[in-house]
A = this chain, B = another copy of it.
Amino acid sequence: MENFNYYTPTKVVFGKGTEEQTGELVRQQGCRKVLVHYGSGSVKRSGLLDRIYGALDQAGIDYISLGGVVPNPRLSLVYEGIRLCKEEGVDFILAVGGGSVIDSAKAIGYGVADEGDVWDFYEKKRQPQACLPIGVVLTIAAAGSEMSDSSVITKEEGWLKRGCNSDLCRVRFAVMNPELTMTLPKYQTASGCTDIMMHTMERYFNQAENMELTDGISEHLIRTVMKNAKILMDEPDNYNARAEVMWAGSLSHNGLTGCGTDGGDWASHQLEHELGGMFDVAHGAGLAAVWGSWARYVADARPERFAQFAVNVMGVERAEDDMDTALRGIEAMEEFYRSIDMPVNLRELGVEPTEEQFRELAEKCSHYRKRTIGCVKKLDVDDIYQIYKNARG
């Protein structure tokens, strides 16, 4: 078992009607001026934004707002947010939305607390030293950003999608009302469920010894999301199913499912990041589209681990040979993805890269041959190219 740190300072306020507590939660932070950060018109149309403004007014909180965050959130809006916050003396950011909005808020938070270019942190040129405090009203169960140390931003110039991890950006409070996710379209719900499962699977597939307690929590979490994702395809307003998925989203990415492991593989996420940067696909769908190709490429490096996954998560009967069991588990996972209308290859994702684009994806994903990705197998530019190609469909 590996040594580990576990740090989840976020105060979670979970359940029906909890967004009404937002004003009081912000007030407890002792801030002077808040930036309310959000995405598309849906939080306006649903009336949520007005309810949040009302709660802030009632708590006597001064605020300004900045909308327009898109999926695969953009660096240009982050720069705009930083400028706005500095001009207006903002000292707290309230993100109302899903992972994209929260990640954008985290990037703004880093930028306001720094004199240089915030992109430096995403290019790993420097480590952030501070971040404005952030609160969240969550409207999409997927990215787990409401409890994670992660932020992923896309730079339009070159369409580079890069992440920055630091405990400094961990959110102070997260208001999580599953009812707010009931209006999500089916495809977004399925894509979110896939992202949640993948945050756990990325940690589960590793190259170290494991912790029994963590393994069982992870296996149960994935099974629970699968079961409730299927329910949500038919009953989008099933409260309990929405709640199971929402809480699983936070637990999948707050660190719990990695305790005692070596940190996990993360190659599928890195493969998807380049797809998201180049083709602007939904993150979860992109993950589903590359996972099978990745899994088949690396499974022989840890067949016993893939076999455990097949049996304990996918309910596959154990074959004599671990590798056979492993492959059946991968097939079963792809069947599940299909059952919730997720793609299992690039064609189904709606993406058909040219040969030149395949080469470019591999070059970018390997940071132009400066890094390998993954730990189950360390993957260089040629491996990465092959996995993308095998995912073609």
* A binding-site residues for B, Cβ under 8 Å: 1-18, 209, 211-213, 216-217, 220-221, 223-224, 227-228, 239-240, 243-244, 247-248, 251, 256, 259-260
Closest A-B pairs by Cβ, 8 of them: A3-B15, A216-B220, A6-B12, A9-B9, A7-B11, A213-B224, A4-B14, A1-B243
B4 touching A15 by the CB < 8 A rule? yes
Which chain B positions have C-beta within 8 A of A14? 3-6, 259-260
B9 touching A213 by the CB < 8 A rule? no
**Copies of this polypeptide in the complex:** 2
A12 touching B7 by the CB < 8 A rule? yes
Q: Which residue of B lies closest to A254 (CB)?
A: B8
B11 touching A251 by the CB < 8 A rule? no
A213 touching B251 by the CB < 8 A rule? yes
- Pick from A11, A18, A228 the residue with the most CB of B within 10 Å: A11
Which chain B positions have C-beta within 8 A of A248? 213
Which chain B positions have C-beta within 8 A of A240? 1, 209, 212
Which chain B positions have C-beta within 8 A of A247? 211, 213, 259-260
Chain B min CB distance to A242 (Å): 10
Given contacts A1-B243, A243-B260, 14 further A-B contacts (CB under 8 A): A1-B15, A1-B240, A3-B14, A3-B16, A3-B17, A3-B18, A8-B8, A9-B9, A14-B260, A213-B224, A213-B244, A216-B223, A217-B217, A220-B220
Inter-chain CA distance A243–B13, complex, in Å, is 30
Which chain B positions have C-beta within 8 A of A259? 14, 247
Inter-chain CA distance A11–B149, complex, in Å, is 13
Q: Which residue of B lies closest to A147 (CB)?
A: B6
Which chain B positions have C-beta within 8 A of A256? 256
12 A–B contacts from the bound complex (CB under 8 Å): A1-B240, A5-B12, A8-B9, A9-B11, A209-B240, A211-B243, A212-B244, A213-B244, A213-B248, A213-B251, A220-B220, A256-B256
Inter-chain CA distance A13–B1, complex, in Å, is 14
B224 touching A216 by the CB < 8 A rule? yes
- Of B2, B9, B213, B243, the residue contacting A220 (CB under 8 A) is B213
Which chain B positions have C-beta within 8 A of A18? 3
Chain B min CB distance to A380 (Å): 31
Inter-chain CA distance A212–B228, complex, in Å, is 10
Which chain B positions have C-beta within 8 A of A224? 212-213, 216
Q: Which residue of B lies closest to A243 (CB)?
A: B1
Which chain B positions have C-beta within 8 A of A6? 11-12, 14
- Of B12, B213, B227, B244, the residue contacting A211 (CB under 8 A) is B244
Which chain B positions have C-beta within 8 A of A209? 240
Inter-chain CA distance A259–B15, complex, in Å, is 11
Inter-chain CA distance A228–B213, complex, in Å, is 10
Inter-chain CA distance A7–B170, complex, in Å, is 13
Inter-chain CA distance A75–B228, complex, in Å, is 49
Inter-chain CA distance A7–B248, complex, in Å, is 16
Which chain B positions have C-beta within 8 A of A251? 213
Which chain B positions have C-beta within 8 A of A221? 213, 216-217
Which chain B positions have C-beta within 8 A of A17? 3
Inter-chain CA distance A8–B9, complex, in Å, is 6
Chain B min CB distance to A76 (Å): 34
Q: Which residue of B lies closest to A259 (CB)?
A: B247
Chain B min CB distance to A170 (Å): 10
Inter-chain CA distance A2–B239, complex, in Å, is 11
Inter-chain CA distance A191–B322, complex, in Å, is 39
Inter-chain CA distance A216–B251, complex, in Å, is 13
Inter-chain CA distance A8–B10, complex, in Å, is 7
B1 touching A239 by the CB < 8 A rule? yes
Inter-chain CA distance A191–B156, complex, in Å, is 59
